[in-house]
Structure 1
Amino acid sequence: MYLKTVSDEEATAEIAEAYAAERAGMGTVMNATRALSARPDMLVPVDRLLNQLRDGFSLGLEAFRMITLVVAKHVPSNYCSHVYFRGLTRFAGRDQALAIQADHRSAGLSERDVAMLDYAEQIAIDASRVRAADIDRLRAVGFSDLNIADIAYAASFRCFLSRYYDAVGATVEPQFLDDDPTVREQLTVGRP
């Protein structure tokens, strides 16, 4: 980490609560959370927004994780690629998660999932190129405007967080790194 962050010993009030909750749920405090503590007044609101978006995601957690994995590849963000690959494997399995990360269009996904990930990918690459036809395509495969907004929120928020984590030097925790060096290399999409 390039910045000084709030250590466990220094954590008080809401930051101490956030650290304790993450430690209770995951057994550790992630570097992503520590990175947010460099601006202590932002950790809790950003974390709440992420939780609200993820927990209330109209398309479910698996879709949220597919979106974040595809977006992380195109930001590009090593940190988020490794973390969300690990998270997606719990839903889709390791081989499917690898296929989605490599090229979601040839990963055997439904037309609906491909359209969703195409839209998320476009947001990550250049959201200014999204057109009404892109939204019409999403509607044509069954997405509501709420679903489309959720996809846009998830992709845009991942761009924000991924870029922030890279900008402050957050590094991937060992427990998120795959045991296979080839897979680690595939997921290393940004700074080595």
Structure 2
Amino acid sequence: MFIKTIEPGEATGELAALYEAETKSMGHIMQATQCWSARPDIIIPVENLLHQIRDGFSLGLLNFRLITFVAAQHVPSSYCSHVYFRALSGMIGRDQTLAVRRDFRNAGLDNQQIEMLTYTEQIMRNASQITDADIQRLRNVGFTDLNIADIALAASFRSFMSRYFDAVGARVEPEFLDSDPVVRAEMAVGVK
């Protein structure tokens, strides 16, 4: 990491509780979490917002992770690409996750998911170019305005998170790296 953060042994209060909970659930504290401790006044609100978005996501965890994975590719973010490649592989399989990475339009997803990820791509490339017609296309495949807002929120939040991780030098933990060096290289972008 490029910046000084609060180490687990130095953490107190809410930060210590957050670190303890993550250690219990994951076996360690992710750099994606620890990097926020440079601003201890921000880490708890950021973590709470992440959980509110993800846990209350109107389209379910799978779609949240698909959006996050595609958004991470367009940031681009090695950290989030590796982490969400691992998470999605556990849900839809490694081969389909690789297919999503390479071309989600031809990855065996349903039409609604393809439209959702097309919108995600638009957000990541240039949200100012999105039109009423783009939103109507989402409605035409069955998305509600709540769903559309959730897609936009998940993609935009990933842009914020991933850019911060890279800006402060968070590095992906070894357990998130694929065993295949070709796949690892495909997930890696920017400074390696």
Q: Normalising by the residue count of structure 2, what TM-score does the alignment of the two structures yield?
A: 0.98
Matches within 5 A, 1:1-192: 1-192=1-192
Cα drift, residue 102 of structure 1: 1.2
C-alpha distance in structure 2 between counterparts of 1:53 and 1:76, whole Å: 21
Cα drift, residue 189 of structure 1: 2.5
**Structure 1 counterpart of 2:8, one-letter code:** D
**Structure 2 counterpart of 1:121, one-letter code:** E
SS in 1 for 2:47: helix
C-alpha distance in structure 2 between counterparts of 1:89 and 1:112, whole Å: 20
C-alpha distance in structure 2 between counterparts of 1:138 and 1:177, whole Å: 34
SS in 1 for 2:8: coil
Deviations 1:93-151 (A, max 9, x none): 11111111111111121111000001011111111111111100000000000000000
**Structure 2 counterpart of 1:73, one-letter code:** Q
**Structure 1 counterpart of 2:82, one-letter code:** H
Cα drift, residue 190 of structure 1: 2.8
Corresponding residue pairs, total: 192
Deviations 1:38-80 (A, max 9, x none): 1111100000000010000000000000000000000000000
Cα drift, residue 191 of structure 1: 2.3
Structure 1: gaps spanning 5 or more residues: none
Structure 2: gaps spanning 5 or more residues: none
RMSD (Å), alpha carbons: 0.7
C-alpha distance in structure 1 between counterparts of 2:10 and 2:136, whole Å: 50
Q: Normalising by the residue count of structure 1, what TM-score does the alignment of the two structures yield?
A: 0.98
User: After TM superposition, what 4+ stretches of structure 1 lie above 4 angstroms from structure 2?
Assistant: none
SS in 2 for 1:9: helix
C-alpha distance in structure 1 between counterparts of 2:190 and 2:95, whole Å: 22
**Structure 2 counterpart of 1:129, one-letter code:** Q
SS in 1 for 2:10: coil
